[in-house]
């Protein structure tokens, strides 16, 4: 039961991450390789605001989102001058820079030692400690975020973003400003990731930079590519699939000595097969270039 609850909580956190990223990747058509950066900055700012500034959970999380949003603005301004492969490489650069800072700014982040003993969230006088409580907390945030993103994606803004994705020249010819619209999407997506980071940090009560590596950014992108982008079902399918598949592979009964490696290979093979069968993702409407 605890195992199932733990998986559900992790799925919830990753759903928040992938729905946020979907705005940039699915609606904007931009492959961002630095989403884990915003996830990480959210986790660290939330944590530090609670531990060092003594802020309660909710203000710390929200202030963390604002700070991460500003950071996303700083990343987005130069990155969004590029498209296609160049954009991917620029975001990769930011991913590497921020990871290095998290890893080496020992005074602030304790670097590789990580930050242990992160306090549990206290909301309206109730300390969230039990798994089921945590599950409820994550679900509440998830519902709110998905509802907001649902409205945003179906708004004129979401439509304009899709237009830019499909043909930037034609969309610009209709008066859509690529810089403004992509930047909005990028900042919102960063802020949503920040929230997921705050939830993650207080859930596992320990963070270190290895949770926010390039691998993590790639994993988040893979969730969308597997599930399909540009709609509200794709991230759900992708997240559930990508988190449950490795868990399912545990039950194959492989001998312990080779199990992790074989699991990794089956995992990879499944992804390759999937891309052959459905290049647009399981629930996707279109294929990213």
Q: With respect to other proteins, which residue has the nearer C-beta, 135 or 184?
A: 184
Tokens of 23: 């705005």
**Residues within window 184-243 making contact with other proteins, judged by CB under 8 A:** 184-185, 188, 230
With beta carbons less than 8 A apart as the criterion, state whether 31 and 87 touch. yes
Q: Which of 129, 155, 264, 273 binds other proteins (CB under 8 A)?
A: 155
Residue 123 binding other proteins, by CB under 8 A:
no
Q: Does 70 bind other proteins (CB under 8 A)?
A: no
Least distance to other proteins from the beta carbon of 34, Å?
Answer: 20
Neighbours of 194 (CB within 10 A): 32
Contact 19, 227 (CB under 8 A): no
Burial 246-275 (b: 16+ CB within 10 A, else e): eeebeeeeeeeeeeeeebeebeeebbeeee
CB of 285 to other proteins, least distance (A): 6
Task: For other proteins, give the closer residue by CB, 75 or 191.
Answer: 191
Separation between Cα atoms, residue 157 and residue 152, nearest integer Å? 7
CA distances from 171 to 32, 178, 188, 222, 248 (A): 21, 8, 21, 28, 44
Query: Which stretch, 31-39, 44-52, 153-161, 215-223, contacts other proteins (CB under 8 A)?
Result: 153-161
Under a CB-based contact definition with an 8 Å cutoff, are residues 39 and 196 in contact?
yes
Draw the binding track, 162-181, toward other proteins (x: CB under 8 A; -: no contact).
Answer: xx-xxx-xxxxxxxxxx--x
159 touches other proteins (CB under 8 A)? yes
Cβ 83 to other proteins, closest distance in Å?
14
Place of tokens 């509200």: 232
Report the residue number, 126 or 170, with the smaller CB distance to other proteins: 170
Nearest by Cα to 226 from 88, 22, 70? 22
Q: CB of 166: closest distance to other proteins in angstroms?
A: 4
Within a 13 Å sphere around the CA of 177, how many CA atoms are in the beta-carbon half?
5
Task: Kindly state the smallest distance separating residue 164's Cβ from other proteins, in Å.
Answer: 9
Q: Between residues 23 and 43, which has the closer beta carbon with respect to other proteins?
A: 23
Q: List residues near other proteins by CB under 8 A.
A: 151-152, 155-157, 159-160, 162-163, 165-167, 169-178, 181, 184-185, 188, 230, 285-286
């Amino acid at each position: 039961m605890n195992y199932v609850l733990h998986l559900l909580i992790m799925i919830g956190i990753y759903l928040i991450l992938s729905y946020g990223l979907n705005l940039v990747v699915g609606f904007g058509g931009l492959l961002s390789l630095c989403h884990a950066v915003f996830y990480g900055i959210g986790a660290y700012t939330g944590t530090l605001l609670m531990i060092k500034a003594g802020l309660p959970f909710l203000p710390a999380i929200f202030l963390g989102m604002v700070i991460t949003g500003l950071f996303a603005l700083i990343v987005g301004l130069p990155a969004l001058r590029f498209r296609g492969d160049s954009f991917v490489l620029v975001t990769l650069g930011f991913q590497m820079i921020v990871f290095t800072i998290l890893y080496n700014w020992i005074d602030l982040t304790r670097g590789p030692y990580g930050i242990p003993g992160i306090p549990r969230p206290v909301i309206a006088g109730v300390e969230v400690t039990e798994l089921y409580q945590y599950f409820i907390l994550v679900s509440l945030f998830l519902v709110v975020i998905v509802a907001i993103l649902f409205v945003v994606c179906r708004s004129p803004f979401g439509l304009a973003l899709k237009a830019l994705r499909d043909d930037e020249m034609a969309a610009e010819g209709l008066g859509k400003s690529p810089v403004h619209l992509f930047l909005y999407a990028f900042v919102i997506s960063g802020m949503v990731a920040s929230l997921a980071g705050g939830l993650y940090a207080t859930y596992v009560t320990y963070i270190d930079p290895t949770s926010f590596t390039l691998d993590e950014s790639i994993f988040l992108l893979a969730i969308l590519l597997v599930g399909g982008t540009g709609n509200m079902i794709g991230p759900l399918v992708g997240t559930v699939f990508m988190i449950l598949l490795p868990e399912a592979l545990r039950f194959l009964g492989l001998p312990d000595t080779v199990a992790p490696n074989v699991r990794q290979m089956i995992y990879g093979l499944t992804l390759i097969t999937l891309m052959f069968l459905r290049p647009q993702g399981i629930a996707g409407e279109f294929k990213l270039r």
